[in-house]
Amino acid sequence: MDFCQNRAEWQRNPQKLFSSGRFNRRSDKKKQMHILTSWLPIPADSDFSLYNLPYGVFHTGDGRARAGIAIGDHIVDLAAAAGSGLFGKRRFFKKIFEQNTLNDFIALGKPLTGRVRKKVQDWLTRSSAPANAESLLVNRLTAQMLLPVHIGNYTDFYSSIEHATNVGKMFRPDNPLLPNWRWIPVGYHGRASSIVASGTPVRRPWGQILPPGQETPVFAPSRQLDFELEMAFVIGKNSVLGEPVPTEKADEYIFGLVLFNDWSARDIQRWEYVPLGPFLGKNFASSVSPWIVPLEALRPFRVKSPKQNPAPLPYLQTRGAQNYDIALEVALSTGEKTKQTIVSRSNTKYLYWSMAQQLAHHTINGCNVCVGDLMASGTISGPEAGTYGSMLELSRGGKEPLTLNDGSSRSFLENGDRVIMRARAEKNGVRVGFGEVDGVILPEQVR
Ligand code: CA
Mapping DSSP to helix (H, G, I), strand (E, B) and coil, where does residue 180 land? coil
Phi-psi region of 87 (alpha: psi -120 to 50; beta: other; left: phi over 0): alpha
Query: What pLDDT does residue 222 have?
Result: 98
Residue 270 alpha carbon to ligand 1 centre in Å? 14
Residue 187 alpha carbon to ligand 1 centre in Å? 9
For residue 392, the surrounding DSSP H or E stretch is helix 391-394
In the chain, count H helices and then E strands: 13, 26
Residue 315 alpha carbon to ligand 1 centre in Å? 24
The span from the CA of 298 to the CA of 52, in Å, is 8
The span from the CA of 317 to the CA of 330, in Å, is 32
Closest by CA to 222, choosing from 286, 284, 158, is 284
Query: What pLDDT does residue 175 have?
Result: 86
Query: What pLDDT does residue 447 have?
Result: 87
CB 344 within 8 A of CB 330: yes
CB 373 within 8 A of CB 232: no
Residue 92 alpha carbon to ligand 1 centre in Å? 38
Query: Tens place of pLDDT for every residue, the chain, 447 residues?
Result: 455 654 444 444 444 444 443 344 444 444 445 689 999 999 999 999 999 999 999 999 988 999 999 999 999 999 999 999 999 999 999 999 999 999 999 999 999 999 999 999 999 999 999 999 999 999 999 999 999 999 999 999 999 999 999 999 987 888 899 999 999 999 999 999 999 999 999 999 999 999 999 999 999 999 999 999 999 999 999 999 999 999 999 999 999 999 999 999 999 999 999 999 999 999 999 999 999 999 999 999 999 999 999 999 999 999 999 999 999 999 999 987 778 999 999 999 999 999 999 999 999 999 999 999 999 999 999 999 899 999 999 999 999 999 999 999 999 999 999 999 999 999 999 999 999 999 999 999 998
Query: What pLDDT does residue 5 have?
Result: 54
Residue 262 alpha carbon to ligand 1 centre in Å? 5
Residue 228 alpha carbon to ligand 1 centre in Å? 6
Closest by CA to 323, choosing from 346, 297, 355, 296, is 355
What domains sit in the chain, N to C, each tagged with a CATH number? 8-146 (2.30.30.230), 154-442 (3.90.850.10)
Residue 439: C-alpha distances to residues 46, 282, 285, 344 (Å): 21, 16, 10, 16
The span from the CA of 409 to the CA of 332, in Å, is 11
Residue 394 alpha carbon to ligand 1 centre in Å? 16
Residue 224 alpha carbon to ligand 1 centre in Å? 15
Report cis status (omega within 30 of 0) of the bond before 217.
no
**Residues with active-site annotation:** 163
User: What dihedral do alpha carbons 423, 225, 396, 389 form, nearest 10°?
Assistant: -10
Question: 241-254: buried (b, 16+ CB within 10 Å) or exposed (e) per residue?
Answer: eeebbbbebbbebb
Closest by CA to 158, choosing from 321, 428, 376, 305, is 376
